[in-house]
Amino acid sequence: MTHASDRRPIWDLFCHVIDNWGDLGVCWRLAVNLAARGQRVRLWADQPEPLRWMAPGALDGAHPDIEVRHWPRTDPDAPPPALPAGDVLVEAFGCEIAPAWVRALQPDPAPGEPARVWLNLEYLSAEPWVERSHRLQSPVMGGPLAGRGKWFFFPGFTPATGGLLREPDLIEQRDAFDPEAWRARHGIATCDGAPVVTLFCYEPPLLEELLRQPTLRGAHWLVAPGRPEAALARAWPAGLTASRHALPHLPQPEFDRLLWSSDLNLVRGEDSLVRALWAAQPFVWHIYPQHDDAHHLKLEAFLDWLQAPPSLRAFHRAWNGLDAGPLPAPDLVAWRDCARAARDRLLAQDDLATQLLRFVAEKR
């Protein structure tokens, strides 16, 4: 990957896997997007193991332009790697890298060499302050990295932000997709016309209430493993006339197709929210809860950008505990129209990888 004759830029992308794998999922998608645009990527993760199911072959070098490396984040004595210098250093979601590692991977350029770029790729939010903070630089005032500057790059939903991850041919794949054939390949028989619902959530208190909704009578519930499967088992009412399909961990392309195949997608976190937007099917976002309730403002800002109809806004507020409930009946027609309109607005903007490459070119 780092052969001396290969002059393509090297990106060092660092990921601290906090929980639920979404941060690693975002970083892998970004690595793939960058590699597809002619970049070389060293993906450093403190817990890279979930890539075995998320991106089969990733840990075994299946992608020629992506190298996955273990990041000994919690070891303060871990020596920095002896590798060729990188061109771009990305701290995903504000993870902090030891100064010695920054210096090893981004030494001061020799005379005549392009500048190296150090980025903090931030969390996704629709809050107004994101547009004001996007592309700002923060100088390091002291310590071994004094004099350097780190740029803040914010993904987002508007043209004044960094955009969202989107593969160049994603919409063409989506338009050519056959949902019934995909479900049949996975042994999911849904020929009775009942709604198909994907459940990828935390532990929503109103899940049992949703299961009893007449709109979803007889639904086929496609359930992700782990917390969603456990939550559904606890909430499942006795005698409910619906079916459960326990899913295995799916590779990322298959997870996308799962969302394409469903009439309602109940998603969580950041990565699956973005993929639900590209799916352009009715969806509800279970936002990651924060102890100081900061997620309330974040959810409201997203619903404002989404131009959510009243029923979808009320459902989100109840589902996420902002209101006591009850849940309004899902209006799948209105919610689908809203999702498609949002997808179309996003398609008019450049994707995240394209914007990152343009930004780095400006700074070098």
* CA-to-CA separations, 280 to 137, 228, 285, 302, in angstroms, rounded: 35, 22, 13, 16
* Residue tagged active-site, from 65, 67, 127, 270: 270
Pairing of strands 136-139, 149-153: antiparallel
- What's the Cα-to-Cα distance from 56 to each of 37, 40, 51, 66, 254, rounded to whole Å? 21, 19, 7, 13, 12
Torsion of CA 355, 356, 359, 364, to 10 degrees: -150
C-alpha 35/C-alpha 71 separation (Å) is 20
User: At 354, which amino acid appears?
Assistant: T
In three-state secondary structure terms, 219 is: coil
Using CA atoms, how far apart are residues 19 and 182, in angstroms rounded to an integer? 29
Residue with tokens 């999911």: 188
In contact, 70 and 98? CB cutoff 8 Å: no
For residues 316 and 287, what is the distance between their CA atoms, to the nearest angstrom?
Answer: 9
**Is residue 270 flagged as an active site residue?**
yes
Alpha helices in the chain (DSSP H): 22-36, 51-54, 99-105, 129-133, 170-175, 179-185, 207-211, 227-235, 252-260, 271-279, 294-306, 310-319, 332-347, 352-363
How many Cα neighbours within 13 Å face the side chain of 63?
24
Structure tokens at 329: 């009946």
Q: Which one is catalytic: 12, 23, 65, 351?
A: 23
Q: Which residues are catalytic?
A: 23, 270
